[in-house]
Amino acid sequence: MSGVVALDLGSSAIAAVEVTTTRERVSLTNANVEPLPSGLIHDGEIQEPDELAEFVRRIWKSGGFSGRRVRLGIANQRVMVRVIDLPLLTDQRERSAAVAYEAQEHIPIPLDQAAMDFQSIGQFSSDAGPRERLVVVAAPREMIDQLVRVVRRARLQPAGIDLEAFAILRSLMPPASVLDEGSPDTDAQVVVHVGAEVTHVIVSVDRNCHFTRLVNFGGAGLSQAIAQRMECSIDQAEALKITCGLVGDPHGDWDAETIAEVQHALALAARPLVREVVRSLDYYRSQPFARHIDRVVLSGGTALCLGLDRYLKQGLGMPVDIGDAGSQLDDRGGMSMAMAHRASVAIGLALDSAGANR
């Protein structure tokens, strides 16, 4: 049974998820998503650590979470993710030293000022012999230290830190089968995870992250576009974004003029998203390790915007499905699809906690 709670500190909300495991069965036991006061976190960077710690502490107390050990996610423009190739090494010390040496050429952070980790995404043969392809993640150590201090001030104990992109894949994608894992013929899948301020564009093969990029586009921008065009509050704009949407028949009894105005505002505001996803995928396709992409999965709180999947499909020219971040839970405890979208990072972090590996 897991005693770790996953905590996602987003720019507009905090999500906490607790799971239990019994005989390989993973069940959701507690989940909470609370709006975060503006100004505490911006672009993934903590702005007001003392206020944030107090807010987290209040959520913990009111949410009734049983554990105090927490697993955290990180994602901002200062977190570096690179793919490197190395000779295949079986000695773990040699392997770690080789990764550190090679990383200096790819990561613009002095290694003595960085927290770094890596994971293998496959092995392959070359003229020089067997080689291994790895994803290397590095973040400024002072940024990690500040996150840890906030959690400790909230009277919680950090139990691990993971890249948000890895957590998102874990919540959305099933593990690769033993027979298929590592096959060079496996197609890639893309996750477009649209949050409040930023979007993750993640290319996955066998649930492994082969490429990820953060785009400065989020659902808050869509809401702002509606609010300006309709001269309404942000809360009203949020409701229009979800129920009126971009494409298709709206939910609710909206008049034709309102529908036309909202969908026009959203279509204009969402253009940068399509443009940046296309740019990201073009860059990925230019890499020597690129695979054929067979589909796109849309996730994040902004996936609730009606018709955004169809809008992306039109812009990208490939199938786009709306993901279900609760699909890897055996018992989702009545969690709604809307809650799963908003808590997808936390769900993925929880699935990697002790006793809940999937």
Looking at residue 179, its pLDDT comes to 55
**Type of residue at 346:** A
Beta partners for 157?
Answer: 69
**CA 41, CA 24: separation in Å to the nearest integer?**
36
Looking at residue 64, its pLDDT comes to 87
Phi and psi of 247, rounded to 5°?
-140, 145
- Asked if 71 and 5 touch (Cβ cutoff 8 Å), the reply is yes
- Residue 176 is classified by DSSP as P
CATH number of 182-324: 3.30.420.40, 3.90.1860.10, 3.40.50.300, 3.20.20.10?
3.30.420.40
Looking at residue 208, its pLDDT comes to 93
Looking at residue 354, its pLDDT comes to 43
Looking at residue 334, its pLDDT comes to 86
Q: Which fold has domain 80-139?
A: Dna Ligase; domain 1 (3.30.1490)
Q: How far is CA 197 from CA 295, 325, 338, 344, in A?
A: 24, 19, 18, 16
Q: How many helices (H) and strands (E) does the chain have?
A: 11, 15
**CA 136, CA 161: separation in Å to the nearest integer?**
14
Looking at residue 2, its pLDDT comes to 55
**Continuous H helices in the chain:** 49-63, 92-103, 141-153, 164-172, 219-230, 234-243, 256-269, 271-285, 308-316, 337-342, 344-351
Q: 305 Cβ partners below 8 Å, 6+ apart? A: 219, 222, 241, 242, 245, 246, 266
Provide block-wise average pLDDT over 10 residues at a time, the chain (358 residues): 82 91 85 90 90 93 88 93 93 94 90 92 88 94 95 95 96 77 83 94 95 94 95 93 87 87 95 97 94 95 93 95 92 89 94 60
Query: How long is the chain?
Result: 358
Angle at 136 between CA 133 and CA 191, to 5 degrees: 85
Structure-block tokens of residue 251: 């939910």
For the entire predicted model, the pTM comes to: 0.93
Looking at residue 182, its pLDDT comes to 62
| Residue 283: strand, helix, or coil | helix
Q: Spell out the domain ranges in the chain.
A: 80-139, 182-324
Q: How far is CA 3 from CA 15, 153, 352, in A?
A: 17, 20, 12
